[in-house]
Amino acid sequence: MDERVEEVERLVGHTFRDPELVERALTHSSLADRRSLSNERMEFLGDSILSFVVCEHLYRRYPDADEGDLTKVKSYLVSRLKCAEYAHEAGLVGLLSVGKGFSTQRSLPQSVAAAVFESIVAALYLDGGLALAEAFIMRFVGPNVETTERMGHQMNFKSVLQQIAQARGLEMPAYAVTDEKGPDHAKEFEVAVTMGRRRFSACWGTSKKVAEQAAALVALRELGHAVGEEPAIEIRWPGDQGVSADSTRSSAQAAASTDDPETSTTESASDS
């Protein structure tokens, strides 16, 4: 038996009747002879199982919450960011077989790490049923549920920044890619936020979406509306205690400043 299968069985606490499910779950498409032999189909199935388990858990845990609030929490808990974290926490990422194009990367792209977690979820479901897959999922999702619900922002800092800009009468944030690096299969992007004529510090990310979220968080910090470190970032909304009227006025004036002509031609990125 493949040593990786034995290690996965130790990590997940289950002996597989069909070890081939594990081998396929740990095979990236860059290495497989055919895409159907990679973990892509299992990722597809695991993603749906993960969403179902988390939705049911939230539905039962928060009987008075409305659909919109439940959706926000669920979307974050099953996001690519969180699934990649779960994969690292579970010890699965180092077991993934990938093609030579990834061998020089210091770390795998977030999407690849997330896929191996979802693929193992599918393998557990196919081999042992829903209860087994659910127990594995909740080992990692469970501790994050209460924290995520309490944070309120679900790490969607672009949405928070837009809401704060509207509340304070500031220019709407615009996102521009200022640089990029890396090969096509593992490209990284640098993104900066502008509001009016003010440009905030740029941030790198493994995708445009990741970089935009990081850049939005930087803007929130520089405006005085975000404090703390992940995963316990606190948003200070306009009018909250600790956000003074003076700081609100001064940062609003800075955001509306026209003293920096170099930022006047920044293009807006899509919000997707």
Helix (H, G, I), strand (E, B) or coil at 22: helix
* Type of residue at 64: D
Q: Three-state SS for 191?
A: strand
Any catalytic annotation for residue 67?
no
> What are the strands, taking DSSP E only, across the chain?
174-181, 188-195, 198-199, 203-205, 226-227, 234-235
End-to-end CA gap in the chain: 44
Q: Which of 43, 118, 127, 212 is catalytic?
A: 118
3-state secondary structure of 116: helix
Angle of the 110-128 helix axis to the 40-61 helix axis, nearest 10:
80
> Which entry of 43, 47, 85, 149 is annotated as an active-site residue?
47
Q: How far is CA 2 from CA 28, 63, 95, in A?
A: 16, 45, 11
Q: Is position 47 annotated as part of the catalytic site? A: yes
DSSP 174: E
List Cβ neighbours of 107 (8 Å cut-off, separation of 6 or more): 113
| DSSP-based three-state secondary structure for 269 | coil
Non-local (6+) Cβ contacts of 33 within 8 A are none
185: which 2 tokens?
Answer: 């299969």
- Largest Cα span, the chain: 68
- For residue 267, what are the contacts with CB-CB under 8 A and spacing of at least 6? 174, 176
Hey, which residues are catalytic here?
A: 47, 118
